[in-house]
Amino acid sequence: MNAVATILHDAYKPGQFPGLIYRLKRPKTALLLFTSGKAICTGSKSVGDVRASIKTVINMLKNGGISVNENPKIMIQNMVAVYDLGSEMNLNLVAISLGLERIEYEPEQFPGLVYRPSDLKVVALLFGSGKVVLTGAKRNEDIDIAIEKLRYELKASGK
């Protein structure tokens, strides 16, 4: 891993983190590289940016004399999306209307309401401002479905 750190002009501090963190400016992403050969790309706005980031690092490593798989399998594990419902919400009322079995809401500990729509792996964090953060999706379609389901359930409950 020290050779990789030298090639990428980055510090490898296994006492602080078990991998090397390499930040790219274009596309603006960070790659976490591990001694197992696995890598995690974070911060990307698209799958294309993920591919470009990985290709950049692969080329740097190859040019530095390190043998790497030039066509790694890329798996999307977690997409995060931010959505604005367009109006403020009373989260106490939303919590009751969405059904207490699918929500977590403890405003003393966290200002958002955690909502787990049935039949989806996506989790929605709703804030009083009307902003929603969706996490856990593996495809864009999962996000679209979760947003539509949330909007439908809020409308059906009169919110």
Q: What tens digit of pLDDT does each residue of 118-136 get?
A: 888 999 999 999 999 999 9
Q: What tens digit of pLDDT does each residue of 66-93 get?
A: 999 999 999 999 999 999 999 999 999 9
**Residue predicted with more confidence, 6 or 93:** 93
pLDDT surpasses 70 at 7: no
Considering the four listed CATH numbers 3.30.470.20, 3.40.50.1000, 3.30.310.10, 3.60.21.10, the one that applies to the domain covering 2-63 is: 3.30.310.10
Class of domain 79-156: alpha beta
Task: Enumerate the domain spans of the chain.
Answer: 2-63, 79-156
Long-range contact set of residues 131-135: C-beta below 8 Å, sequence gap at least 24: 131/82, 131/83, 131/84, 131/85, 132/82, 132/83, 132/84, 132/85, 133/80, 133/81, 133/82, 133/83, 134/80, 134/81, 134/82, 134/83, 135/78, 135/79, 135/80, 135/81
Q: At what angle do helices 91-98 and 140-156 cross, to 10 degrees?
A: 100
